[in-house]
Amino acid sequence: MNYKLLLTIAAIFLFAACSDDNNSDPNLDDRIKFLGSWTCDETIGSSQSAFTIVITTFGESDSLRVSNFSNLGNSSVALALVSGKSIVFPGQQVGVTNIDIQGSGLYLTQGANEKMNLNYSVDGQSALANCVKN
């Protein structure tokens, strides 16, 4: 358990160090760009699925709630931390069956499209999700 916590803390500092401070507005909440409904195309092993997640604010100015994380149902909420364009899902259990998740991602824009590329694990299985803001 301590190993997961150390990895999560290291990832947060790594992503925070990688943010572009010259282009960021200190008065702008980093969470704003992540908020809303996103359509995700997820790959876990050879399985692929498409689903929608909804991201809302939670608690402190760096915290988010992600409903329907990994298509586990709207009542399955994952908590995330943001810094700049980075999002981190610290190790946690979600859903009624306490599924272990953890991971990270990056927000980016392509023209008028807002996207997130997420890399995470779901009960030890590696997952990739490419999400587009609705």
What share of the chain has pLDDT > 90, as a percent? Answer: 74
Where do the DSSP E strands lie in 15-133? 36-44, 47-57, 63-67, 77-83, 86-94, 99-110, 113-122, 125-133
Token look-up 């299985």 returns 125
- Provide the token pair at 28: 């702008």
Query: Do the bridges between strand 47-57 and strand 99-110 make them parallel or antiparallel, or are there none, so unpaired?
Result: unpaired
Domains, the chain, ordered by start: 2-19+29-133 (2.40.128)
For residue 23, give the DSSP letter.
Answer: G
Instruction: Assess whether pLDDT exceeds 50 at residue 7.
Output: no
Categorize the per-residue pLDDT at 28 as very low, low, confident or very high, splitting at 50, 70 and 90: confident
pTM: 0.79
14-23, 25-34, 104-113: least confident range? 14-23
Token look-up 């008028």 returns 112
* DSSP string for residues in 27-56: TS-TTGGG-EEEEEEEEETTEEEEEEEEEE
Instruction: Assess whether pLDDT exceeds 80 at residue 11.
Output: no
Mean pLDDT of the chain: 86
Rg over CA atoms, the chain: 14
Give the mean pLDDT of 6-31.
Answer: 54
pLDDT (tens digit, 9 = 90+) per residue, 60-112? Answer: 899 999 999 999 999 899 999 999 999 999 999 999 899 999 999 999 999 99
What pLDDT score was predicted for residue 27?
A: 55
